[in-house]
Amino acid sequence: MILFDTHAHFNVDTPTKEQMARAVEAGFVGILAVGGSSEMNSCAIALAKEFPEFVAISLGLDRDLALEYAASTTAIPELKEQILSVGKQVRVAAVGEIGLDYREDTTAEEKAAQCDLFSKQLSLAADLKLPVSIHCRGAASDVLSLVAEYGSKELMSENRLGVIHCFTEDLDFATKAYDMGLYFGISGIVTFRNADLLRATVSKLPMERLLVETDSPYLAPVPMRGKPCEPAFARYTAACVAGLHGMSEDAFGELTTNNARKLFAL
Ligand SMILES: [Zn+2]
């Protein structure tokens, strides 16, 4: 079986050598190491330098930094410069993660700052012709409208605008996202005991847009819950989604690996 983890995070304490070895042993042929802060971006770059054949990366500024960067005029040009210079040494395959996360206590000011940072990075990705890795929580309609406005029209027409990572939305959202050329990153949440609704939705998603991901070190799938998540664990998620689609694990692994290669041009 071959597999591809399209969304894993690493920090300075991650035992990456051991994790990469276990991922290879579990059948993984690659991973996308995803940034979001300067620390995670640096760790992704370092990992790709160490494992250039195995690791591609995504660089970006996630919504937690929105207020901090609200007034910055240099953050986006610096990110662009970093992507261009790092891209000469390793495979930068996406911008992300970026997106919106609205919780009960998220203020109007913070929502506006998140939208601003998200829009600017959608435009940056369009400028660089890179797909995006999008986080969406409690903000479905704003995510869709900003993607429609600022997302790359060229990549939309090629059906490879990016991925809704850690997909937990409904079919109505999925239909609109599909039409804009977005993929669906399915994380360990789909294996959780209380995730019947998500499983029902995922079983109806078009197979040519499915990806599997860990979002490591978070969201370890059943039966690894409670442990720090790592890329190799995506095989449990893959087995679950293969079952939902009535496919063999081998065929599903091959399908989603090809989907990942197509979206990220790897
Ligand atoms: Zn993430």
| Cα-to-centroid distance, 190 and ligand 1 (Å) | 15
Using one digit for the tens of pLDDT, what is the confidence trace for 129-179? 999 999 999 999 999 999 999 999 999 999 999 999 999 999 999 999 999
Give the pLDDT of residue 195.
98
Residue 196 predicted with pLDDT over 90: yes
Give the pLDDT of residue 155.
98
- C-alpha span between 201 and 169 (Å, rounded): 8
Task: Tell me the HSE value of 225 on the side-chain side, using a 13 A CA sphere.
Answer: 10
Residue 38 predicted with pLDDT over 90: yes
Q: What 3-state DSSP class applies to 196?
A: helix
| Cα-to-centroid distance, 234 and ligand 1 (Å) | 14
Structural domain for 162, as ranges: 3-264
| Cα-to-centroid distance, 8 and ligand 1 (Å) | 7
Report the CATH number at residue 175: 3.20.20.140
| Cα-to-centroid distance, 254 and ligand 1 (Å) | 23
| Cα-to-centroid distance, 225 and ligand 1 (Å) | 17
- C-alpha span between 215 and 204 (Å, rounded): 22
| Cα-to-centroid distance, 77 and ligand 1 (Å) | 23
| Cα-to-centroid distance, 100 and ligand 1 (Å) | 12
In the chain, pLDDT over 90 holds for what percent of residues? 98
Using one digit for the tens of pLDDT, what is the confidence trace for 68-107? 988 899 999 999 999 999 999 999 999 999 999 999 999 9
| Cα-to-centroid distance, 203 and ligand 1 (Å) | 22
Q: Return the closest-CA partner of residue 190 out of 214, 217, 171, 159.
A: 214
Domains: count for the chain: 1
| Cα-to-centroid distance, 137 and ligand 1 (Å) | 12
Q: Where on the phi/psi map is residue 229: left (φ > 0), alpha (ψ -120 to 50), or beta?
A: beta
Give the pLDDT of residue 242.
98
Using one digit for the tens of pLDDT, what is the confidence trace for 206-240? 999 999 999 999 999 999 999 999 999 999 999 99
| Cα-to-centroid distance, 260 and ligand 1 (Å) | 16
| Cα-to-centroid distance, 7 and ligand 1 (Å) | 6
| Cα-to-centroid distance, 56 and ligand 1 (Å) | 15
- What integer best gives the mean pLDDT of the chain? 97
In the chain, pLDDT over 70 holds for what percent of residues? 100
- C-alpha span between 108 and 183 (Å, rounded): 29
| Cα-to-centroid distance, 249 and ligand 1 (Å) | 24
